[in-house]
Amino acid sequence: LQQTAHGDYFTQAEIRELVAYADQRGIRVVPEIDLPAHATAMLAAYPELASRPGSYQVERKFGIFDPVLDPTKEMNYQFLDQLFAELIPLFPDPYVHIGGDENAKGVDWNQSPSIQAFMKQHRLANNHELQAYFSRRMQKILSRMHRNMMGWEEILNPDLPKQTVVQIWLGKQSLIHAAQMGYRSVMSDGFYIDLMHTAGEYYLNDPLYPDQDKLSPAEQQRILGGEATMWSELVSAQNVDSRIWPRTAAIAERLWSPVEVRDVDDMYRRLAVTSVRLEELGLTHITAREVIMRNLAGGTNQTEALAVLLDVVEPLKDYHRNAGDNLYSVNSPFTLFADAANSDAPAARLFSIAMERFLKNGASADREALRSMLTRWRDNHRAMLQLIAISPVLNDVQGISANLKNISELALTLLDAPGGVTRDRYQQMQQSLHAARQQGGRTELQVVAPIEKLLERRLLETVESGR
């Protein structure tokens, strides 16, 4: 198996060291071998396990692929028995995860005459039932090895013993459903930190909220907690810390707090302190970003303009950054502007808070704070242009830097224009703000919405004053 891994594998000694290191810190390591799908690498090494004859290559891109183990071959269970017999002594934890996710289309099962014949013979009506057959067989193997089976929610099936734990990722309805069926669960839905949502969003994602009342106390007890998943498509060793920290601390607090704890501003206040402490403990989420910035600045220390722009953008969220699974592969360098951008644009958050307050109270201190930020953003473009001239890799962000300048100018005008805007001006401004929502360097500006609110307010003032 390791011969197909291009050097990307752990030796048994390394695994033992890792598990012991975690154990000394009170952390349990539950291994997952994803089966029967998401297993192309295994089929590259052992094509005879597959549902379709032929040879397989290890995937270097990301996505959901057709290759899948053949659950009807007795030989495959002997193989998996041996594989887990080798794995289990390395991981003392009582749980082992068999994956089970995203065998979505079932193409290779549908096209195999022997698999179709097996399904008829065993009265398995569809691929879900065939996968349930597979999961039951795996459960028996693991049970003999004194391990509890865990799997993604696709394995959920009333025939599985109730000690099976399901990991929920497709929605909170599944969490409720699993609890009502009598299964314990771990929730990852809403904790996909690789999708680059903000810490505030993750913080509010309580497994029980707002459905506490739909579940009996016994059912609620079955929800064991959650897991933040850091899928590694868009990271390197260099920037992975900045995707995990500090926001995983916010998720940890979510999961050990009562449902009622929902003060996002206070969480951010404390998270800023935690972030610095985590870096002191040896994490690199702050310094690695500075390394990427210096690279982007042509190997110089002239990173100030870049930092100003980075503080108001966030990387494209969900699966938009890697459009069509085609922009990046495992060999891509994750050293670009978007890799230095974090999912909580700090200056944008402060701007948004100051704008909310200003629109509520009209205090001159808030107006001055807004003016100071906007002036800085407006003037930053000139410095960015100088930087782009010496560092062409930044060409991708010239557009959003110009957009930031444009909408900052626009907002400065609005700040000083109580009493309103004409309809024509309003429409022009709306268009500029709309244009500023365009991505640049696979990131997007996070200051557009507060400026839109200011614009809406000025329009309202015009209407009210009857002009």
Mention every residue, 6+ apart, whose C-beta is less than 8 A from residue 298: 387, 390, 391
Q: Tell which phi-psi region holds residue 5, choosing left (phi > 0), alpha (psi between -120 and 50) or beta.
A: alpha
Q: Closest separation between CB of residue 177 and ligand ACM, Å?
A: 17
Should residue 290 be labelled a site residue for ligand ACM when binding is judged by CB under 6 A?
no
Measured distance between the N- and C-terminal CA atoms of the chain, rounded to whole angstroms = 75
Q: Closest separation between CB of residue 61 and ligand ACM, Å?
A: 16
Task: Give the residue closest to ligand ACM by C-beta.
Answer: 101
Should residue 358 be labelled a site residue for ligand ACM when binding is judged by CB under 6 A?
no
**Nearer to ligand ACM among residue 133 and residue 152 (C-beta):** 152
Which two three-digit tokens encode residue 320?
């938009």
Can you say whether the dihedral through the CA atoms of 305, 306, 307, 310 is positive or negative?
Answer: positive
Q: Closest separation between CB of residue 39 and ligand ACM, Å?
A: 12
**Nearer to ligand ACM among residue 229 and residue 238 (C-beta):** 229
Q: Distance between CA atoms of 440 and 399, rounded to whole angstroms?
A: 6
Tokens 């989420």 correspond to 285
Should residue 56 be labelled a site residue for ligand ACM when binding is judged by CB under 6 A?
no
Q: Closest separation between CB of residue 254 and ligand ACM, Å?
A: 20
Should residue 191 be labelled a site residue for ligand ACM when binding is judged by CB under 6 A?
no
Should residue 169 be labelled a site residue for ligand ACM when binding is judged by CB under 6 A?
yes
**Nearer to ligand ACM among residue 104 and residue 237 (C-beta):** 104
Q: How many residues bind ligand ACM (CB under 6 A)?
A: 4
**Nearer to ligand ACM among residue 116 and residue 157 (C-beta):** 157
**Nearer to ligand ACM among residue 229 and residue 352 (C-beta):** 229
Should residue 194 be labelled a site residue for ligand ACM when binding is judged by CB under 6 A?
no
Alpha helices for 38-73 (secondary structure H): 40-45
- CA 335 to chain centroid, in Å, comes to 18
Q: Distance between CA atoms of 214 and 177, rounded to whole angstroms?
A: 10
Can you say whether the dihedral through the CA atoms of 154, 159, 165, 168 is positive or negative?
Answer: positive
Should residue 377 be labelled a site residue for ligand ACM when binding is judged by CB under 6 A?
no
Q: Closest separation between CB of residue 190 and ligand ACM, Å?
A: 12
Q: Distance between CA atoms of 387 and 169, rounded to whole angstroms?
A: 42
**DSSP states of 104-152 as a string?**
-S-HHHHT-HHHHHHHHHTT--SHHHHHHHHHHHHHHHHHHTT-EEEEE
Q: Closest separation between CB of residue 156 and ligand ACM, Å?
A: 13
Alpha helices for 297-345 (secondary structure H): 304-310, 337-340
Q: Closest separation between CB of residue 229 and ligand ACM, Å?
A: 7
Q: Closest separation between CB of residue 192 and ligand ACM, Å?
A: 7
Should residue 101 be labelled a site residue for ligand ACM when binding is judged by CB under 6 A?
yes
Should residue 62 be labelled a site residue for ligand ACM when binding is judged by CB under 6 A?
no
Should residue 152 be labelled a site residue for ligand ACM when binding is judged by CB under 6 A?
yes
Please pick, from the candidates 32, 93, 102, 227, the single residue that binds ligand ACM as defined by CB under 6 A: 102
Residues that bind ligand ACM (CB under 6 A): 101-102, 152, 169
